């Protein structure tokens, strides 16, 4: 038999036996201040099944989006190096950020609205930390090392060969999955085609990309293999300000104290004078953050509803109605009627809809070709042939769609003068940027106080854009 290894590396500090400190301090901290490794028990039930379906869908989205192409372009790609965003066949540039600002505030307001109405529904149902940990890494750990009770007993026993090979296999699989997640995360910013090319060629050709993947891999591996629930408890900023959004209408996972107290099984099954809670502690044993929901609402609760499924199963076994632990508001638990309308919720919803509408309107009004005009040369204008004035510009064109555009450039209808592009066409690929030198020549007699108002016309199949322009010239004749 091999001697036990020091606690804290791969063999965590076991929970003290003979007493429970749940509810006194944070559940993952021992009396001596060390880390208490949690072994959440397996659970089934209606909420767990629903969360599993949601998690599988989100995993498919998280890991599958970089592989999907739309109109020949990635469905979603944040091209960090090209400083553009590809989204469903459309391209957005840094100058388009103001178009998304109202939409960003709308998303924030929706998150605030969801929290104010349903508590930490995001944390328990859709957060990538929860989805990856509970529905990808935890099942693999259970497959390799066994159920929670088996893992706990094996970790508390002296180290032996089965413990070593199970741990080695689990961490090898965890590291491989972390590597895959890291590559997928980088593909959002670099493109899946570039990622595949980099994987299939020597790493020395792409050392920055390799270092990024290794850094992401190490971070994901550490979080999901060791840090785990501590990310939700210690690092997540959402947990810190969520309580300011709660009120008596917020539906949280709560224990019905009036119905459940006093707790106990009773001598020989005689539960006279006791509440519905049998003090089986199943709600504690299945909690992924190690809290006792019966102690009241706590910051560490992520709203995963595992305790609801565990309690409902116990209530069914004791022939009691389900719902001792359930989604409920403070007013519901206290039996108080709610007066008036939820004005705060309605305000959040109204503001979110307004912001989303503004952002949608800005995006819908965005032209097919974004145009920036910059003056070129040292002199604002040049006199040509004595009776004409030439202005030189650089036209920056950005194709916001995925289709190739063939365009013609000319002065607006009714304007006297010409450009160096009259009678010529040029093309711009989808999502591409091009700089075009433009020379505009107009009669000098048209200037008044050194200005000539004109417009550049950009036309093509399905394209008609007009760019007002003020030409510089002599003060007047």
Kindly state whether residue 26 falls inside one of the protein's structural domains: no
**Domain identity same for 197 and 263:** no
Kindly state whether residue 32 falls inside one of the protein's structural domains: no
| DSSP designation for 170 | H
Residues 356/108, Cβ–Cβ less than 8 Å: no
**Domain identity same for 165 and 273:** no
Kindly state whether residue 258 falls inside one of the protein's structural domains: yes
Name which of 1-15, 134-148, 329-343 the model is least confident about. Answer: 1-15
- Joined tokens for residue 348: 């959040």
pLDDT of residue 414: 64
- Joined tokens for residue 25: 């301090």
pLDDT of residue 466: 86
- Structural domains of the chain, count: 3
**Domain identity same for 54 and 84:** yes
pLDDT of residue 16: 44
Give ∠ CA 35-39-41 in degrees, rounded to 5.
155
Average pLDDT over residues 358-381: 90
Kindly state whether residue 273 falls inside one of the protein's structural domains: yes
Task: Label residue 476 by pLDDT band (50, 70, 90).
Answer: low
Tell me if the bond preceding 336 is cis, omega within 30° of 0.
no
Give CA–CA dist 465/179, Å, rounded. Answer: 47
pLDDT of residue 25: 60
**Domain identity same for 283 and 234:** no
**Domain identity same for 110 and 234:** yes
Task: Label residue 18 by pLDDT band (50, 70, 90).
Answer: very low
Give CA–CA dist 9/222, Å, rounded. Answer: 12
What is the chain's mean pLDDT, rounded? 87
**Domain identity same for 226 and 77:** yes
- CATH code: domain of residue 396: 2.60.40.10
| DSSP designation for 97 | H
- Joined tokens for residue 136: 């990808």
**Domain identity same for 214 and 308:** no
User: Given a cut of 80, is residue 226 above it in pLDDT?
Assistant: yes
- Joined tokens for residue 227: 């840090």
**Domain identity same for 403 and 259:** no
Kindly state whether residue 2 falls inside one of the protein's structural domains: no
Q: Where a domain ends, among 194, 226, 243?
A: 243
Residues 452/473, Cβ–Cβ less than 8 Å: yes
**Domain identity same for 60 and 149:** yes
Residue 332 vs residues 260, 305, 336, 406, 476: alpha-carbon distances, Å: 15, 18, 6, 64, 80
**Domain identity same for 89 and 173:** yes
Phi, psi of 73, deg, nearest 5: -125, 160
Which positions ≥6 away from 155 have C-beta within 8 Å?
Answer: 11, 12, 14, 37, 163
pLDDT per position as a tens digit, 28-78:
877 777 888 999 999 999 999 999 999 999 999 999 999 998 878 889 998
Kindly state whether residue 230 falls inside one of the protein's structural domains: yes
Residue with tokens 């555009």: 405
- Joined tokens for residue 468: 């007002």
User: Given a cut of 60, is residue 23 above it in pLDDT?
Assistant: no
pLDDT of residue 177: 96
Predicted model pTM: 0.83
Q: Where a domain ends, among 311, 334, 357?
A: 334
User: Given a cut of 70, is residue 133 above it in pLDDT?
Assistant: yes
Kindly state whether residue 345 falls inside one of the protein's structural domains: no
**Domain identity same for 456 and 398:** yes
Task: Label residue 2 by pLDDT band (50, 70, 90).
Answer: very low
Give CA–CA dist 416/343, Å, rounded. Answer: 60
User: Given a cut of 80, is residue 204 above it in pLDDT?
Assistant: no
pLDDT per position as a tens digit, 392-442:
999 999 999 888 999 999 887 667 888 999 888 889 998 899 999 999 999
Give CA–CA dist 320/449, Å, rounded. Answer: 90
Residues 438/393, Cβ–Cβ less than 8 Å: yes
Q: Where a domain ends, among 243, 264, 281?
A: 243
Kindly state whether residue 342 falls inside one of the protein's structural domains: no
Q: Which domain holds residue 128?
A: 46-243
**Domain identity same for 381 and 467:** yes
């Amino acid at each position: 038999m091999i001697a036990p290894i020091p606690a804290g590396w791969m063999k965590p500090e076991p929970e003290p036996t003979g007493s429970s400190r749940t509810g006194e301090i944070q559940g993952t901290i021992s009396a001596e201040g060390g880390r208490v490794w949690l072994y959440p028990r397996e659970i089934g039930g209606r909420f767990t099944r629903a969360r599993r379906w949601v998690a599988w869908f989100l995993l498919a989205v998280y890991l599958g989006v970089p592989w999907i192409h739309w109109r020949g372009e990635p469905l979603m790609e944040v091209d960090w190096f090209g400083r553009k965003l590809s989204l469903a066949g459309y391209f957005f540039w840094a100058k388009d950020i103001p178009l998304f600002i109202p939409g960003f505030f709308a998303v924030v307001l929706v998150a605030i609205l969801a929290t104010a109405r349903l508590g930490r529904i995001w944390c328990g149902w859709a957060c990538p930390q929860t989805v990856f940990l509970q529905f990808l890494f935890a099942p693999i750990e259970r497959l390799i090392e066994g159920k929670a009770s088996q893992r706990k007993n094996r970790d508390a026993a002296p180290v032996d060969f089965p413990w070593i090979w199970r741990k080695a296999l689990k961490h090898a699989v965890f590291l491989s999955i972390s590597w895959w997640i890291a590559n997928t995360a980088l593909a959002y910013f670099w493109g899946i085609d570039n990622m595949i090319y980099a994987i299939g060629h020597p790493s020395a050709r792409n050392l920055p990309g390799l270092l990024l993947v290794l850094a992401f891999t190490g971070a994901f591996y550490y979080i999901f293999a060791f840090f785990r629930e501590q990310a939700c408890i210690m690092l997540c900023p959402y947990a810190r300000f969520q309580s300011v959004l709660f009120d008596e209408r917020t539906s949280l996972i709560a224990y019905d104290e009036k119905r459940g107290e006093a707790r106990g099984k009773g001598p020989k099954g005689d539960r006279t004078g006791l509440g519905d809670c049998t003090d089986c502690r199943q709600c504690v044993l299945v909690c992924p953050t190690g809290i006792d929901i019966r102690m009241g609402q706590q910051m560490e609760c992520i709203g995963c509803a595992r305790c609801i499924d565990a309690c409902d199963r116990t209530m069914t076994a004791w022939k009691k109605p389900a719902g001792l632990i359930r989604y409920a508001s403070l007013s519901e638990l206290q039996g108080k009627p709610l007066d008036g309308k939820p004005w705060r919720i309605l305000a959040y919803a109204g503001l979110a809809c307004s912001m989303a509408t503004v952002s949608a309107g800005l995006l819908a009004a965005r032209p097919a070709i974004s145009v920036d005009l910059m003056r070129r040369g040292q002199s604002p204008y040049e006199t040509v042939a004595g009776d004409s004035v030439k202005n030189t510009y650089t036209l920056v064109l950005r194709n916001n769609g995925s289709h190739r555009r063939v365009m013609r450039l000319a002065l607006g209808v009714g304007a006297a003068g010409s450009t160096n592009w009259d009678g010529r066409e040029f093309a711009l690929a989808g999502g591409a940027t091009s700089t075009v030198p433009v020379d505009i020549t107009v009669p000098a007699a048209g200037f008044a106080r050194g200005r000539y108002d004109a417009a550049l016309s950009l036309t093509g199949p399905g394209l008609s854009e007009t760019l007002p322009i003020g030409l510089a010239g002599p003060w007047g004749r």
